[in-house]
């Protein structure tokens, strides 16, 4: 049985000091690096996603000058800028597939993105015979939720590693995790030593 690790949007604009900073983002990045250092061999594939928005446009209404922080957001993760890069605490050396999403359109799930050579996440996972996935990253109540929901929709058994996710709102993050459990996901901790 093959297992994947899905690393969602651990980027500078979503960690401390970024355009849409999430408290605890740097700690998630460092924790994911520890996980990769200790257990990368446990995963058949390791997929990391990044928001990668097109500069100078609304990206399908996703970016706005006067955002509502529900459906529209200030500029973030603009392609080619430091904000779109992985957080420096995340060492991506073990990542097998890098996915970009939101190029000109709103996109929350990594399953809406593709690698630079056009491969979609669902196809990557099917090709590796993945039946189970651990999900980590940012933000619990947005892109982690969407990515884990789509993994479940692909028939993959999902575990969310709750010590390796961070959300925008505590209440919304708790609701997101409850929704995922209701859809069949399991909540576990990574078991990493601090």
Among all residues, which ones are annotated catalytic?
9, 101, 143
Nearest to 6 by CA among 113, 117, 116, 118: 113
d(CA 54, CA 151): 26
Q: Are 101 and 126 in contact (CB under 8 A)?
A: no
Distances 77 to 14, 29, 55, 187, 193 between C-alpha atoms, Å: 8, 16, 9, 28, 31
Q: Which helix (H) or strand (E) holds 157?
A: strand 157-166
């Amino acid at each position: 049985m093959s297992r994947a690790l899905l690393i969602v949007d651990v980027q500078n604009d979503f960690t401390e000091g970024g355009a849409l900073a999430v408290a605890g983002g740097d700690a998630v990045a460092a924790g994911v690096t520890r996980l990769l250092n200790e257990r990368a061999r446990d995963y058949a594939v390791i997929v990391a996603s990044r928001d990668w928005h097109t500069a100078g446009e609304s990206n399908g209404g996703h970016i706005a000058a006067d955002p509502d922080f529900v459906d529209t957001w200030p500029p973030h993760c603009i392609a080619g800028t430091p904000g779109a890069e992985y957080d420096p605490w995340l060492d991506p050396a073990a990542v097998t597939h890098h996915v970009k999403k939101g190029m000109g359109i709103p996109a929350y799930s990594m399953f809406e993105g593709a690698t630079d050579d056009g491969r979609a996440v669902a196809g990557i996972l099917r090709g590796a015979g993945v039946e189970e996935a651990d999900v980590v990253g940012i933000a619990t109540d947005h892109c982690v939720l969407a990515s884990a929901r789509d993994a479940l929709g692909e028939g993959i058994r999902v575990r969310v590693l709750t010590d390796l996710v961070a959300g925008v709102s505590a209440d919304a993050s708790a609701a997101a995790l409850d929704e995922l459990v209701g859809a069949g996901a399991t909540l576990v901790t990574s078991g990493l030593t601090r």
